[in-house]
Amino acid sequence: MNDAPVATALSALPDHAALRVVPACPALDAAAAADASAAMVKLFSQFQREGRCQSAAIEVLGDGHLLLLAWLGPALSGCSHDKINHLLQHLGQRHGRRLLDAPPLVVEVEGVIQHLSHAEFKDLVRQGRLGSHDYAWDSMASTLGDWRLAGRRPLAEHWLSPLLQRALSAP
């Protein structure tokens, strides 16, 4: 058991820490972000007491569009992930946010962060409103190091680049 408190900053954890990026649609306002962070800190503190993780950090980024959960220790069990999902579902219902089923692509369209389906992404590309110079957020990063390297980058350098290229070349 580790008596250190759950960290509140991602900077407190090393690159190899596991990561879950949770898109929030619509974005978490300050009150919802504080509530979600406090609830996740409480859950990860329980995980820490039970020896499921050594330390953890919770942060809300992207103007409330992303909730990042990072932890150090062994891979979490299915039961632990179920507890996280249950809490996310509860928080989503309480604050009127989609946390488990938000559209998967998080991009900046004309400087505004949006959550898009693949079809919406393709439509915006075809309309010329979204291109290689626009930024995307990596909702698939699985380690903190991956996030630090490529958490937000231009679409031309993002894992969404092939989707962008297909949409650009479609008739």
163, pLDDT greater than 50: yes
Give a yes or no: residue 4 inside a domain: no
Q: How many domains does the chain have?
A: 2
**Do residues 84 and 109 share a domain?**
no
Could you tell me where the beta strands, DSSP code E, fall in 36-111?
Answer: 55-61, 66-72, 105-109
2 falls within a domain: no
The proportion of the chain whose per-residue pLDDT surpasses 90, expressed as a percent, equals: 89
Question: Is the CB of residue 56 less than 8 Å from the CB of residue 10?
Answer: no
Predicted confidence band of residue 170 (pLDDT cuts 50, 70, 90): confident
Place of tokens 């800190």: 41
pLDDT tops 60 at residue 2: no
| DSSP conformation class of 26 | S
Residues 29 and 61 in one domain: yes
Residues 117, 88, single domain; the answer is no
Predicted local confidence at residue 114, as pLDDT: 96
**pLDDT tens figures, 32-90:** 999 999 999 999 999 999 999 999 999 999 999 999 999 999 999 999 999 999 999 99
| Within-domain flag for 54 | yes
Q: Give the range of the structural domain holding residue 136, as residue numbers without chain letter.
A: 105-169
Would you state the pLDDT for residue 1?
47
- Cβ atoms < 10 Å from Cβ of 63: 12
Domain boundary among 75, 95, 115: 95
